[in-house]
Chains A and B, each alone.
Chain A
């Protein structure tokens, strides 16, 4: 069965600093990988996705993620964090029937 691990429950960064959120997955075949963002009390919004090809994918809001098969990782990065990026971030792996398995999430706090 597939699984997703987000090792960091909570991360705090200063505004303008770089960000990296970690995601490790377990999946028997080629994974379909997603990053979503959730603001408090809201639904999730897709940031980016990886299916195949270039291992560095670009998303919305200046985010990017790199797929590393050898490390079973799909880490999310942003060069310069803005206060509006404070939210909860979820990594997910796609499964059959369109279901996705989600990690437990990482809460990002941005210090002024």
Chain B
């Protein structure tokens, strides 16, 4: 079955550590996105990529980094520079990265900083 997988489902991090969240898709989608979700707030865009080896900052990119070395993969690193990283992180993809493209979402990773 085609879809998006995110791992791990739960992640705990000590302050000062970098952590990497995995996102893989087998939908053959060109564009991929990372969102952060906090209680009572909508989804806020962290980074997005429309093509391999290229990505752009979203609205809240500070303290995060990404790479897009393969079409199927778009890992997100939460660095120690992110002051409040505890949140639910969602990865999504779209077929062509067009305005009319619906987004397909993974199941999410819940990150907790101890």
Listed in ascending order, the chain A residues whose CB lies under 8 Å from chain B are 4, 9, 32, 34, 36, 41-46, 49, 51, 90, 92, 94-100, 102-105
- Could you say which of A42, A51, A98, A104 contacts B103, with CB atoms under 8 Å apart? A98
Chain A residue numbers with a CB within 8 Å of B98 are 98
CB distance A97 to B31 under 8 Å? yes
Minimum C-beta distance from B81 to chain A (A): 24
CB distance B100 to A32 under 8 Å? yes
Minimum C-beta distance from A35 to chain B (A): 10
Sorting the interface of chain B by its residue count into under 10, 10 to 19, 20 to 34 or 35 or more gives 20 to 34
| Contact of A42 with B107 at beta-carbon distance under 8 Å, contacts A90-B42, A94-B99, A103-B42 already known | yes
- Could you say which of B4, B43, B108 contacts A102, with CB atoms under 8 Å apart? B43
Minimum C-beta distance from B68 to chain A (A): 14
A54, B92: Cα distance in complex, Å? 28
Residue of A nearest to B105 (CB): A43
CB distance B97 to A98 under 8 Å? yes
CB distance B105 to A44 under 8 Å? yes
Q: Check: B45 CB closer than 8 A to any chain A CB.
A: yes
- Could you say which of B31, B43, B107 contacts A90, with CB atoms under 8 Å apart? B43
CB distance A44 to B103 under 8 Å? yes
CB distance B31 to A102 under 8 Å? no
Residue of B nearest to A107 (CB): B40
| Contact of A51 with B40 at beta-carbon distance under 8 Å, contacts A41-B108, A45-B105, A97-B31 already known | no
Chain A residue numbers with a CB within 8 Å of B110 are 41
A32, A51, A100 pick with most chain B CB within 10 angstroms: A100
